[in-house]
């Protein structure tokens, strides 16, 4: 390998080391003391519950591990948004799992907790996945109640989604393993089946203290809303168990009996390992994404090898010699048929002798992607976007050539695409390029970022210089003062472009190791295949 490759590999591995260190801390939830306290009560932690519930021979795809990261310092933090969630397999069935983390502020709902739970319900509805709720929560985090209670995308939306999913025929199972208070009491009762752990789980609209204050009645948790009360008196719950393990075992039995349903029919054959070594993904992108690279090299380490023992990749380029700042083509990923759209970072020369900058969307590349998206929709092939884009080409020449029209055509195609879209942000994701390459606003089924990702309206240097010009306009400042101000602006802006800033706010579902890319895409298509309601896309005005 070259010196450049080794340097790039070292940089990527350093980024991954930092990611793992941060993730290890997040996985402790509220800390070791809180975990020990949970164990003293004969209770498992959220992560232990999920590990016990899920099939050992299948992957658990965690979503939102970095939710809330560095967002609630004044409140003592909110690791993983106070809830552990993802897509796993229970008795062989792929499903969404949501578990309140009682070690984090007693499982209370922060604003980001609500956003994360709604995201998981969205995934369940889009992909027709059964949902398992492992409930152990004190309810809304009262100091921030104004940011979580009344709005459309706040706490109450969860129960609206419970009702909508029930109408859609999506199975919902709730296991109450701790407190389930006030408005949160509706979640398990609006599920199809409710399980409770005796002596630990409780469901009530108002706790003993509030009951005393409101109507003067003296009562306790168990009498008010314990497992015996709700399985023998109110009839609200369906089953009670003496241990959490027995409760989780029963969920496995329920899941094992679920009937099968129609699929979308996405094509899959026997998977083959990539033709080129995936380990080499670490050394392909240059340090700080500062230099061009060939994105086809990345694709050929994610896509399957071609069947027939040719030793070649299954990736077949579409319009290879046209619109070269974008690579489009068909491939197999873990056996699944997929259409890939990837920004090409190489600086290329057109047949007209023009130089095109890599990572930039031009008229021809925009037109090429729009047509390819239509093809994939007509063939019912899921789309995978690999983002490393600085935006659309600017300047009078591009404007005269109608870059806005061609860009609008591309955005229209992405917005109206009906096949599942999965987005991986490998490098830059700037400006309207984020939209055109299926950023979060364009409803990808799943969206992940490599540790090398940067997400912003424009690059840090350009943004800092633009903001500096605005701030010093009409003022007398020295060169030293301007430089100090520039560094301050750039430092603040750069922090906001990191994948951690994006993942904390759920602009991306997770930050992943490049070696996980293939599995995440495969699991995403497998989930999407469970929703049969995929229709052929009509061409629309953007095809003209």
Mean per-residue pLDDT, 283-312? 95
Looking at residue 543, what is its pLDDT?
47
pLDDT digits (tens, 9 = 90+) for 197-238: 999 999 998 888 888 888 998 998 899 999 999 999 999 999
Q: Does residue 492 have a pLDDT over 90?
A: no
pLDDT classification of 535: cutoffs 50, 70, 90: low
Of the two residues 1 and 432, the one the predictor is more confident about is 432
3-state secondary structure of 354: coil
Of the two residues 311 and 404, the one the predictor is more confident about is 311
**CA–CA dist 532, 261 (Å, integer):** 9
H helical segments located in 239-395 = 244-256, 295-299, 363-379
Beta strand residue intervals within 221-278, DSSP E: 239-241
Round the average pLDDT of the chain to a whole number and report it.
91
Looking at residue 473, what is its pLDDT?
66
* The pTM of the whole model exceeds 0.85: yes
Q: Name 175's Cβ contacts closer than 8 Å, sequence gap at least 6.
A: 132, 133, 134, 135, 194, 195, 196, 197, 201, 247, 248, 251
Q: Does residue 303 have a pLDDT over 60?
A: yes
Looking at residue 468, what is its pLDDT?
64
pLDDT digits (tens, 9 = 90+) for 239-248: 999 999 999 9
**CA–CA dist 412, 64 (Å, integer):** 28
**In percent, how much of the chain has pLDDT > 90?**
72
Q: From 63, 65, 64, 71, select the one nearest 147 (Cα to Cα).
A: 71
pLDDT digits (tens, 9 = 90+) for 150-173: 888 888 899 999 999 999 999 999
3-state secondary structure of 72: coil
**CA–CA dist 130, 124 (Å, integer):** 7
pLDDT classification of 495: cutoffs 50, 70, 90: confident
Beta strand residue intervals within 2-82, DSSP E: 61-62
pLDDT classification of 45: cutoffs 50, 70, 90: very high
pLDDT digits (tens, 9 = 90+) for 63-78: 999 999 999 999 999 9
Which range among 175-184, 471-480, 508-517 has the greatest average pLDDT? Answer: 508-517
Looking at residue 353, what is its pLDDT?
66
H helical segments located in 27-109 = 32-40, 46-53
Q: Looking at residue 69, what DSSP letter applies?
A: T
Looking at residue 200, what is its pLDDT?
94
Looking at residue 359, what is its pLDDT?
80
């Amino acid at each position: 390998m070259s010196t450049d490759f080794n340097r790039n590999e070292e940089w990527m591995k350093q980024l991954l080391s930092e990611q793992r260190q941060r993730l290890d801390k997040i996985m402790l939830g509220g800390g070791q003391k809180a975990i020990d306290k949970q164990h003293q009560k004969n209770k498992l932690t959220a992560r232990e519950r999920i590990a016990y519930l899920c099939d050992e021979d299948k992957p658990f795809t965690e979503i939102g591990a970095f939710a809330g990261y560095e967002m609630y310092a004044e409140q003592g933090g909110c690791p993983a948004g106070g809830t552990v969630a993802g897509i796993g397999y229970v008795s062989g069935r792929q499903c969404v799992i949501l578990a309140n983390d009682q070690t984090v502020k007693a499982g209370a709902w922060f604003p980001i907790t609500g956003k994360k739970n709604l995201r998981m319900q969205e995934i369940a509805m889009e992909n027709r996945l059964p949902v398992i709720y492992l409930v152990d929560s004190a309810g809304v985090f009262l100091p921030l109640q104004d940011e979580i209670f009344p709005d459309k995308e706040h706490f109450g939306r969860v129960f609206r989604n419970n009702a909508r999913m029930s109408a859609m025929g999506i199975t919902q199972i709730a296991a109450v393993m701790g407190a389930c208070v006030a408005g949160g009491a509706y979640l398990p009762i609006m599920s199809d089946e409710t399980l409770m752990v005796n002596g630990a789980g409780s469901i009530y609209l108002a706790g003993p203290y509030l009951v005393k204050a409101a109507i003067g009645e003296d009562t306790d948790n168990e009498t008010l809303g314990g497992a015996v009360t709700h399985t023998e008196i109110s009839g609200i719950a369906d089953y009670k168990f003496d241990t959490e393990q027995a409760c989780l075992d029963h969920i496995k039995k329920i899941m094992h009996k679920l009937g099968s349903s129609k699929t979308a029919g996405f094509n899959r054959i026997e998977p083959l390992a990539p033709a080129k070594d995936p380990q080499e993904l670490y050394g392909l992108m240059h340090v700080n994404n500062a230099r061009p690279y060939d994105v086809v090299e990345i694709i050929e380490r994610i896509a399957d090898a071609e069947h027939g023992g040719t030793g070649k990749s299954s990736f077949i380029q579409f319009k290879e010699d046209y619109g070269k700042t974008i690579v489009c083509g068909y491939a197999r990923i873990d056996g699944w048929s997929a259409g890939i759209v990837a920004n090409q970072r190489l600086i290329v020369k057109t047949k007209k002798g023009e130089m095109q900058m890599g990572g930039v969307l031009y008229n021809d590349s925009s037109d090429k992607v729009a047509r390819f998206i239509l093809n994939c929709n007509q063939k019912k092939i899921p789309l995978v976007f690999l983002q490393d884009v600085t935006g659309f080409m600017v300047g009078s020449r591009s404007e005269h050539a109608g870059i806005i029209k061609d860009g609008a055509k591309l955005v229209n195609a992405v917005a109206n695409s009906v096949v599942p879209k999965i987005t991986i942000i490998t490098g830059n994701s700037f400006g309207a390029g984020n939209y055109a390459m299926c950023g979060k606003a364009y409803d990808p089924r799943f969206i992940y970022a490599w540790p090398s990702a940067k997400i912003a309206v424009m690059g840090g240097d350009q943004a800092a210089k633009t903001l500096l010009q605005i701030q010093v306009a009409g003022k007398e400042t020295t060169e030293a003062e301007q430089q100090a101000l520039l560094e301050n602006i750039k430092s603040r802006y750069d922090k906001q472009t990191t994948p951690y800033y994006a993942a904390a706010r759920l602009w991306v579902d997770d930050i992943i190791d490049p070696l996980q890319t293939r599995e995440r895409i495969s699991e995403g298509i497998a989930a999407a295949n469970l929703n049969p309601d995929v229709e052929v896309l009509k061409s629309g005005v953007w095809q003209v």
